[in-house]
Chains A and B, each alone.
Chain A
Amino acid sequence: MTDPVDILIIGSGASGAAFAWSMADTKMRIVCLEQGDWVKPSEYPANGRDWEARRYADSDILPNRRNLPADYPINDANSIMKIATYNAVGGGTVHYAAHFPRLHPSDFRTRSLDGVADDWPIDYRTLEPFFAQNDAIMGVAGLAGDPAYPHHTPPLPPVPLGRSGTRAAEAMNRLGWHWWPSDAAIATVEHDGRAPCINLGQCLPGCAQGAKGSTDITYWPAAIRAGVEVRTNCRVREITVGPDGMATGAIYYDRDGKEVFQPAHVVVMAANGIGTPRLLLNSKSEKFPNGLANSSGLVGRNLMLHPWPVVHGWVDDEMDGQRGPIVSIWSKQFYETDATRDFVRGYMLQFGRGPGPVGEAMSGYEASRIPWGTGHHAAMRRLSQRRFHVGVACDDLPEEHNRITLDPVLTDSHGIPAPRIDYTLSENTRRMMEHGIARATEIMQAAGAHTIACSRTVLNYPGHLLGTARMGTDPATSVVNEWGRSHDVKNLFIIDGSVFVTGGGVNPTSTIQAIALYIADQMKQRLDTLFD
């Protein structure tokens, strides 16, 4: 057993880092347990000639493929979408695209506005100051004045349009549809000691330049300087509770595999929408036989993953290919509910650049666009570096049957049960997807694409893990209250994507971090009555 700490954070990714930074000014003793290690930018794929190969190996977005010592397996056989996670200091922000939209005001009020799902107990205005605070620290590029949002001013200039963004923007103007440069956590100019983006085109497997805002290089250096301790290679098995029903700390395995108990006055879960419910469900006790904080039975339920079909288009002219951030522009033309459609809520269109030659050839083989034999070279030269794509980011409404449970057979290398995912698409989502695919196809036609292809499998665009410990004011229908405290265990907090009530149709990291900062702020305001 080690000395007690004031606050024990489980997970060092998007939310854990932001929370730790905010709480550091209390001068409390704060420790963060991270099952992975620090990753050196000099080891990212962009440093080597095998940059494209490593994206399908040790830098794959899927842990089941990557299979590194820090990874835990995920049984996603019963899910149409495969689960992306990354386990290291910085968590998923090391491997995300840094696309940084906020949830929209309407996303917090889907019951009131559209009669579906539930309203959040907080709203966009509540989070607005924390969005802005987070944008400054993560270093968000963008352009003020997007008519799809309440006014906000990203602190850094937008990511260049490039050839692909220009082609897409011209097509959108022909159609008369909304588009805007994406907010992106990418330092387009030098920012807070970070070097500016030089268009390595390798944002996803880690930015070797350090221009992408991952929390290992944004929040963590500042939090550590302020006294927070990050303990790496420490895999938590369970949260412990005392006879009074309060959390007492966590049991974890250290880098040598030794079991350690870390006592704590407050435990904060920041292990993402899969890892957090996994640990809570694995923290069974006499007092909490169904897992910790689970009197509602909702821990692990209402999983939202953002179905994300992609439409690709190839044009005659050379585009950007992989030579720039994948992030380009977005469209919110079809984001809000329209009563004339056969579905409620909506989707964002996210425009991206193209793959490298291996990605082009692989997908070309699979779709018979590129033949084996003598025709290979001509086909590659007709298609390579001439593609861009539109992703359809669908609002994925919560459904209790979409859930994570503990797998009865599969475990990680420490014998901790792996998460099992059961996930299906609703009819509303399927209609939304088809609507989005049809619009994205129109965009490619307007862009003059000579070849258009759609990927409905949505397997390669997961990673948004939301809703599995939702917030609310009623303990019967939610896991945590409106400021992240467990209804059942008053010194247990959840600050990651698990607390989302609805998922919206946007990448969630910006909102996850704003919520983490908001919860930290609420805790600091309530220190004298935190457990009342």
Chain B
Amino acid sequence: MSSTVSFPPPAWGNPELSAVEKRTLAAMCARMIPASEEYKVPGADDALIQADIAKSLGRDATAVHNALAQLETIAGGSLADLPIDQQETACATLRAEAGMDLTLLTRIILQCYYRDDRVMISLGMEPRPPFPKGHELPQGDWSLLDPVRARGKIWREA
């Protein structure tokens, strides 16, 4: 047996969520980012966003499975079947107890939520990639440098 540990480390894990995991994830997402009439945005439990999350586990698949399993344990069964207030309590407990696994799951949820057209438009952002259109950046007023120039040299001779 080799005495070394080779890179890359273990595989990313099963990229598929089970039906139970999908229900738990959707319930958690609804507690995390609920829909808003005021801002005209869907919740993170929206079907399109959930589908995006489900195909975006990537290198964090194991962490996602772990975090959802932990949430089910905290909920004492199916999180999705609990009353809303108990779901919120379970999620709060998860946030207090969970470490990197929840951080990685949270990031995937946010990555998918904040690339949804409806959400980006609500935030005042164009729903497009940065390239090729780019952005406008005001040149600014370079006369702001006048007082800096007036104070003179500050570098040290050596």
A binding-site residues for B, Cβ under 8 Å: 44, 46-53, 56-57, 65, 67, 71-73, 104-106, 108-109, 112-113, 123-124, 143, 145, 147-150, 158, 160-163, 165-166, 169-170, 172-173, 176, 178-180, 197-202, 208-209, 320, 323-324, 332-333, 336-337, 356-358, 361-362, 365-366, 372-374, 376-377, 380-381, 384-385, 409-413, 415, 418
Contact = CB atoms under 8 A, between A and B. Distances in A.
Contacts of A161: 138-142, 144
Interface in B133-158: 133-142, 144-145, 147-149, 151-158
A333 B147 CA distance: 14
A145 B134 contact: no
Contact of A376 (B34, B138, B140): B34
Interface of B: 3-9, 31-34, 36, 38-39, 41, 56, 58-59, 88, 91, 95, 103, 106-108, 110-112, 114-115, 120, 123-125, 127-142, 144-145, 147-149, 151-158
Given A49-B115, A52-B111, A113-B158, A199 B141 contact: no
Report whether over half of chain B's contact residues are helix, strand or loop; otherwise say mixed: loop
B58 A57 contact: yes
A148 B140 contact: no
B106 A67 contact: no
Given A208-B131, A323-B137, A53 B56 contact: yes
Contact of B7 (A362, A366, A410): A410
Given A147-B152, A170-B144, A209-B134, 14 more contacts: A49-B115, A67-B8, A105-B155, A323-B136, A337-B156, A358-B107, A358-B110, A374-B36, A377-B38, A377-B41, A380-B123, A384-B123, A411-B7, A412-B7
A179 B130 CA distance: 29
A198 B134 contact: yes
B140 A165 contact: yes
Contacts of A48: 129
A358 B120 CA distance: 11
A324 B9 CA distance: 35
Contacts of B38: 377
B155 A411 contact: no
Contacts of A373: 31-32, 34, 88
A260 to B, nearest CB: 21
B131 A365 contact: no
Nearest to B28: A372
Contacts of B140: 160-162, 165-166, 169
Contacts of A361: 110, 114
Nearest to A357: B114
Nearest to B115: A49
Given A105-B158, A160-B137, A362-B106, A53 B115 contact: yes
B6 A413 contact: yes
Contacts of B130: 46, 51, 200-202, 208
Given A372-B95, A377-B36, A166 B138 contact: yes
Contacts of B138: 160-163, 166
A70 B41 CA distance: 41
18 contacts: A49-B128, A53-B112, A67-B9, A105-B158, A113-B156, A147-B151, A161-B139, A169-B140, A169-B145, A170-B144, A199-B136, A209-B131, A332-B154, A337-B156, A358-B114, A361-B110, A409-B4, A412-B6
